[in-house]
Amino acid sequence: MAILVQKYGGSSVADADCIQRVAERIAETAQAGHQVVGVVSAMGDTTDDLIAMARQVSADPSDRELDLLLSTGEVISCTLMAMALRTLGRSAVALTGPQAGIRTDAAFRQAQIVEINPERMLRELERGTIPIVAGFQGMTDDMDVTTLGRGGSDTTAVAVAVALKAEYCEINTDVEGVYTADPRLVPDACKLDVIRSDEMLELARHGARVMHPRAVELGDVYGMPVVVRSSFSTEPGTLISRGDDMALEARQRVRGIAHDVDVGRVTIAAVPDRPGIAYAVFDALAQAAINVDIIVQDVDREKESNLSFTVGRDDLEKAVAVVRPVAAEVGAQDVHASADLAKISIVGSGLSLGPGYAARMFGALAEADVNITSITTSEIRITCLIPESDVPRAARSLHAAFDLDEESLTGVAS
Ligand code: ADP
Ligand code: ASP
Ligand code: MG
């Protein structure tokens, strides 16, 4: 019998009614002849609430304790889901990440799965029991509980699917699939029937939170088909595929727009222009485990440069504190931070094939009166840093400029 992993996100299990409805869906899937494994997120806003509670007792809660605390959100939903399934007459067992055999490294808050021992899950499946696994968590060799980064239950689901050699992995969420832009921001956004994993990865890394980036990566590396679909309908959703079988014509375009407001920028002004300074700054940030995204440096005629980089907003204060002493040491004039910028990106494998995409993007933003602060590119993406307040206008104008509405897409994207 084929194994199918079904993940249900926070809004799909937000209250007791939702949990009962999802339990019915899981039971129906099992009834239809699948060996199902459920993976669940914390109910509704539980994770945010737990973080807020930690901040009420400590300005700087320790990562280890925070991870143990946050892991309880998913433990609540997996236990309730297993109880609801039993009420429906199905045999089910709730498993925490560690009980499901998920081993991670010790990078609290952003742990990576190192290995999954699937024996317990397989044993339960053989007995006809449905394992319901708590997403977003695992355990280190020292038996410390870790979490996988915000949105990480998707990664649990794909990793479990790989470990169990499942037929495919379903990500059930509160939209019908992957759209050409966040449908909450762009009313004309269009659902895609299929998307290449390299395009999905770029969208996910640049703010399309419908999939956790690491989950897309795992699906791609291990060739695990992933389907994103709605928990509330029976529509087929979006298949994320390696893309070998997709028509070339479908590559010759922009596939989607992503936006990300989790952007903090640090600027070091008037840095002397000599070797070793970038190393000093970014080595200090690396030692402090701060992830840096867009880096821009320019040198003026006086042989001084401005060096700026972006980090997640949660890391902004820490990044400034790390950089300030380094800046003073190298003789820079000033360090300042801003938290009012956002990233807007166009993504599509077509970008590597044709010229003119950048000009079209900048033209659309100019027409919408959006000022661009910095620009970065990859082979299949162009990202602009813009004021956060302009994001909705920018997203809609880019969506229109690249013909991503329903009519233009028909016959090309899917
Ligand atoms: P879950 O709790 O199920 O994991 P998330 O909130 O993490 O759900 O992700 C789903 C949300 O992602 C949607 O409600 C939507 O607003 C947002 N989103 C952003 N970009 C996209 C996109 N390109 N396609 C679909 N949804 C997107
Ligand atoms: N509950 C976690 C979060 O809110 C993980 C997830 O939902 O995937 O980030
Ligand atoms: Mg999510």
CA–CA distance from 336 to each of 114, 267, 270, 327, 389 (Å)? 38, 5, 12, 11, 20
Dihedral, CA atoms, 91, 97, 102, 105, nearest 10 degrees? 180
Report the pLDDT value the prediction gives residue 206, as an integer from 0 to 100.
96
47 C-beta closer than 6 A to ligand 1: no
Q: Name the residue of 45, 136, 210 whose CB sits within 8 Å of the most ligand 2 atoms, as the mutation to test its pocket.
A: 136
Nearest ligand (C-alpha, residue 76): 2
CA of 4 to the centre of ligand 2 (A): 21
Closest of 149, 151, 64 to residue 110, by C-alpha: 149
User: Which residue's CA is minimally distant from atom 6 of ligand 2?
Assistant: 151
CA of 204 to the centre of ligand 3 (A): 10
- Sheet containing 3-8: give its strands across: 92-95, 130-134, 35-40, 3-8, 168-173, 226-230, 238-241, 194-196
CA of 171 to the centre of ligand 3 (A): 9
Max CA distance (Å), the chain: 77
CA of 154 to the centre of ligand 3 (A): 7
**Pairing between strand 374-378 and 304-311?**
unpaired
Helix (H, G, I), strand (E, B) or coil at 273: coil
CA of 153 to the centre of ligand 3 (A): 7
User: Which residue's CA is minimally distant from atom 5 of ligand 2?
Assistant: 151
14 C-beta closer than 6 A to ligand 1: no
In whole angstroms, give the CA distance from residue 414 to residue 411.
6
In whole angstroms, give the CA distance from residue 24 to residue 12.
13
Report the pLDDT value the prediction gives residue 413, as an integer from 0 to 100.
44
- Amino acid letter, residue 223: G
List the chain domain ranges.
3-174, 264-338
Please name the residues in contact with 57: beta carbons below 8 A apart, sequence gap of 6 or more: none
Q: Helix, strand, coil proportions of the chain in percent (round to 5)? A: 40, 25, 35
Closest of 351, 349, 344 to residue 365, by C-alpha: 344
DSSP 346-364: EE-GGGGT-S-HHHHHHHH
Q: Which residues line ligand 2 (CB under 6 A)?
A: 9-10, 41-42, 47, 73, 135-136, 150-153
179 C-beta closer than 6 A to ligand 1: yes
Nearest ligand (C-alpha, residue 399): 1
148 C-beta closer than 6 A to ligand 1: no
Do the first three CATH levels of 3-174 and 264-338 match, i.e. the same topology?
no
In whole angstroms, give the CA distance from residue 354 to residue 252.
8
Report the pLDDT value the prediction gives residue 406, as an integer from 0 to 100.
73
User: Which residue's CA is minimally distant from atom 1 of ligand 1?
Assistant: 9
- Write down how long the chain is: 414
Q: Please give the distance of CA 172 from its chain centroid, rounded to a whole number.
A: 15
Nearest ligand (C-alpha, residue 42): 2
DSSP 303-324: SEEEEEEEE-GGGHHHHHHHHH
For residue 332, the 8-state DSSP code is: -
User: Which residue's CA is minimally distant from atom 9 of ligand 2?
Assistant: 150
Ligand 1 atom with the smallest distance to the CA of 257 is 23
Ligand 1 atom with the smallest distance to the CA of 172 is 3
Tokens of 352: 């590597």
Please name the residues in contact with 359: beta carbons below 8 A apart, sequence gap of 6 or more: none
218 C-beta closer than 6 A to ligand 1: no
Q: Which CATH architecture has domain 3-174?
A: 3-Layer(aba) Sandwich (3.40)
- Sheet containing 295-299: give its strands across: 295-299, 304-311, 264-272, 334-338
Nearest ligand (C-alpha, residue 41): 2
Closest of 318, 386, 323, 378 to residue 349, by C-alpha: 378
Ligand 1 atom with the smallest distance to the CA of 177 is 25
Helix (H, G, I), strand (E, B) or coil at 228: strand
pLDDT in tens, the chain (414 residues): 899 999 999 999 999 999 999 999 999 999 999 999 999 999 999 999 999 999 999 998 999 999 999 999 999 999 999 999 999 999 999 999 999 999 999 999 999 999 999 999 999 999 999 999 999 999 999 999 999 999 999 999 999 999 999 999 999 999 999 999 999 999 999 999 999 999 999 999 999 999 999 999 999 999 999 999 999 999 999 999 987 655 544 555 899 999 999 999 999 998 888 888 889 999 999 999 899 999 998 877 777 788 999 999 989 999 999 999 999 998 888 999 999 999 999 999 888 777 789 999 999 999 999 999 999 999 999 999 999 999 999 999 999 999 998 766 654 444
In whole angstroms, give the CA distance from residue 149 to residue 107.
10
Tokens of 11: 């809004």
152 C-beta closer than 6 A to ligand 1: no
- What is the CA angle 178-185-293, rounded to 5? 75
Fold that domain 264-338 belongs to in CATH: VC0802-like (3.30.2130)
Report the pLDDT value the prediction gives residue 409, as an integer from 0 to 100.
63
CA of 61 to the centre of ligand 3 (A): 24
CA of 264 to the centre of ligand 3 (A): 22
CA of 76 to the centre of ligand 2 (A): 13
CA of 190 to the centre of ligand 1 (A): 13
